[in-house]
Chain A
Amino acid sequence: MTEQNNKTLLPRGVDSANFEQAIAKFRKLLGDDNVLVKDDQLIPYAKIMMAVDNAEHTPSAAVTATTVEQVQGVVKICNEHKIPVWTISTGRNFGYGSAAPGQRGQIILDLKKMNKILHVDPELCTALVEPGVTYQQLYDYIQEHNLPLMLSFSAPSAIAGPLGNTMDRGVGYTPYGEHFLMQCGMEVVLANGDVYRTGMGGVKGDNAWQVFKWGYGPTLDGMFTQANYGICTKMGFWLMPKPPVFKPFEIKFENESDIAEIVEFIRPLRIAQVIPNSVVIAGVLWEASTCNTRRSDYTSEPGATPDAILKQIQKDKNLGAWNVYAALYGTKEQVDVNWNIVTGALKQLGKGRIVTQEEAGDTQPFKYRAQLMSGVPNLQEFGLYNWRGGGGSMWFAPVSQARGSECDKQQALAKKTLNKHGLDYVGEFIVGWRDMHHVIDVLYDRTNPEETQRANACFAELLDVFEKEGYAVYRVNTAFQERVAQSYGPVKRKLEHAIKRALDPNNILAPGKSGIDLANSF
């Protein structure tokens, strides 16, 4: 239960006196301007897209820190007064919970002001950044210094940041698209205030922190991702050298039933690194939304959009039912060889219409997809939020093997479940080396209470029906963290809680994150 007195929303288990004392200490440590308790300061932290009441994710306060020492100070105060603290970096985790805390009343530690690019090495192709650094900031730095490097980022590219995206195990669209794979070295403030550096970071005088991941003994970086065992204050990662030739292309497929064949066509090319980047297979509504198409342009009827309309949109906007985006990178000779392999394989497949950059020109969505695959920030994908309108968005993201039959099964299951609840399948597959991230944006109208309830029920049912088939999501919004943790079984949860008890006995760091909360009975 969240505590509440007559004046103030309080964190769970914290009385008014302790809260006020903690706020006073935060002010002394951080300065008045960095302790936000007024309602108009907190409203922007409370904008959620999940199908639950705003009140469930309302913070009691937000504090901003600018140094590691201040983060240590915040942790100390939180321990003294048992204040639960939800940390954000840029807070742009749209679709997975945004900047709002996981539980009502938690205070937010906003690290947006820790935004220094600490180091970029153009020869070793590495970077070290603080939590508040955005991809746009890093892109500008690379451009200003004319460095031969390329970024990989998620679709909200310009305003999201590499540290937060990697800590949530997000993905991008270049050959370095599996972001956690490219992470190298972390600095973490632990709940007891210690500053721990992973990999080579603890060695006095070391300069290999950003080039050798493993260090000596247990390698713990992964333990801090999607977790609440520490607060990451620095992160190193690898950057891709900018290739001399970049050749993006699209392949349009006419029918929804083509998905299995598309995946079978792509997988060998992807595993062999002929196509080295995280390929996207985008459904028609994902594509339409990102080229400024709105549902209301075609129908005002409630419920799921009929297939006949989807076909009409496909025709009107010159889209495929599935639209594959990939790119080749390297020297001209390398790209030419790989292009021949790709076009040869497509010829063998006997379906699919290939579109090159020269043919597409500046048309959307090709343009923004090509930008994402070459590390140029843009915000075009925000168009998704206008498809249905109303501000509701929850990303449902199950993973699967990169097999045609699996993708076919998942797509059919998702569409059937969404349509049953009167919602649309707006989805894409992102092809990893051997896996598929199936990303579905559950879009709904938050101005409509009935539709909001329906979206919540739909999301819950998606988790249930996918679980029955042996699937689980790799990431989820904060309203469903506990439910998703259940999918991964009790042994994992017992271990996670044992680690939590050892590292954070006062349960101050983001209780509830990924279902880890010492208030649970594990």
Chain B
Amino acid sequence: MNVERRTVLKGLALSSLAGIAVTSSCLSMAGSVLGAQAQPVLPTLVLVNNEVAESVFLQGVNASPGGKQVKVQRTDLSLDFILGFEKRLRSGQPQRIIGLVDDASAALIVDLARSAGARVQWLGQHRATPHASQHRLLSAEAASGCAPQLGLSLNACGSGFSLTEQRMHSLQAPLQASATARNRDSSDQWAATLGYTLAALGTTSDRQAPLIARRPVPLTGNFVSFSIEA
């Protein structure tokens, strides 16, 4: 089934009003497709910076269909990393690159993707505190449904968040959703759910993003997420 943007939004509002008690992340919409249509599974590289590598983001990635086969690489600002990444983008091998990194690394990664002629389905800026997270997303048709799904899931888990999604070339007003925190243990959930959402983009999703137990040091600060197809 296709995820209807407005339907999901409506659902989100209703869920919020109803104050649903949550026992799972609710990301599973059996048989649903995250993204406009199911795509063949491509070899996937996950880029993370040092902070993210220690976070639950990768748990979310691993829980996705095909999540066990991904390759994970840490980013930095060295020329070695950048030149290696550029070489990979230009290798001619079809591949997906998803990630959650710091702003400096993201500025480089996204621009190298542009110059290599890669497609970017999702570009997100995120800010997380121990109490809430903010998500500012720019997405393509290929990622339709992912942002509402992220919001729906965070809401279901009781995470405090605000989310804005702008769609390239869309006449619709940007999607805006927010909820106050109802579950103090869910401060890290955004990273796991985001990891799951990005990894599952373009696949038939019948699993769930893992519910994350409260961690002593949640992932906080500013980050950028992306989904790139080369």
Contact = CB atoms under 8 A, between A and B. Distances in A.
Interface stretch (B120-128, B147-155, B190-198): B120-128
Interface in B120-145: 120-121, 123, 125-127, 129, 134-136, 138-142
B68 interface: no
A386 B103 contact: yes
A208 B220 CA distance: 58
A390 B166 CA distance: 17
A8 interface: yes
B217 interface: no
Interface in A366-399: 377-380, 382-386, 388-391
Given A39-B141, A39-B169, A90-B115, A446 B110 contact: no
A92 B111 contact: yes
A39 B167 CA distance: 8
Contacts of B129: 300
B224 to A, nearest CB: 7
A379 B125 contact: no
B111 A55 contact: no
Main secondary structure on chain B at its contact with chain A?
A: mixed
A244 to B, nearest CB: 26
Contacts of B224: 391
A99 interface: yes
A447 B168 contact: no
Contact of B83 (A33, A46, A99, A136): A136
Given A58-B169, A385-B104, A43 B125 contact: no
Interface in A403-448: 445-448
A91 B140 contact: no
Contact of A45 (B108, B114, B126, B136): B114
A112 B116 CA distance: 9
A447 B127 contact: yes
A6 interface: yes
Contact of A379 (B77, B119, B136, B168): B77
A379 B108 contact: yes
A178 B220 CA distance: 41
A254 B135 CA distance: 40
Interface in A283-339: 294, 296, 300
A382 B125 contact: no
Contact of B134 (A33, A379, A448): A448
Given A389-B127, A389-B221, A43 B138 contact: yes
A28 interface: no
Interface string A1-45: 000101011000000000000000000000001000011111111
A44 B111 contact: yes
Given A445-B222, A448-B127, A38 B104 contact: no
B104 A6 contact: no
Contact of B82 (A8, A159, A294, A388): A159
A321 to B, nearest CB: 24
Contacts of B115: 90-91, 112
B171 interface: yes
Contacts of A158: 79, 82-83
Residue among B77, B83, B105, B112 with max Cβ neighbours from chain A (10 Å): B77
Contacts of A379: 77-79, 82, 108
B142 A40 contact: yes
Contacts of B121: 40, 43
A9 B170 CA distance: 8
Given A6-B171, A383-B104, A386-B102, A446 B125 contact: yes
A76 interface: no
Contact of B221 (A98, A112, A296, A448): A296
B127 A94 contact: no
Contacts of A247: none
A45 B83 CA distance: 21
A44 B121 CA distance: 9
Contact of A445 (B104, B107, B127): B127
Nearest to A47: B110
Interface string A136-148: 1000000000000
Nearest to A390: B222
Contacts of B185: none
A356 interface: no
A54 B170 CA distance: 12
Nearest to B228: A44
Given A377-B79, A385-B107, A43 B120 contact: yes
B1 to A, nearest CB: 22
Interface in B150-174: 166-169, 171
5 nearest A-B pairs in the assembled complex, by CB-CB distance? A389-B222, A44-B114, A39-B168, A40-B140, A40-B119
6 contacts: A33-B117, A47-B111, A91-B114, A379-B77, A390-B125, A447-B127
Interface of A: 4, 6, 8-9, 33, 38-47, 49, 54-55, 58, 60, 90-92, 94, 98-99, 112, 136, 158-159, 294, 296, 300, 377-380, 382-386, 388-391, 445-448
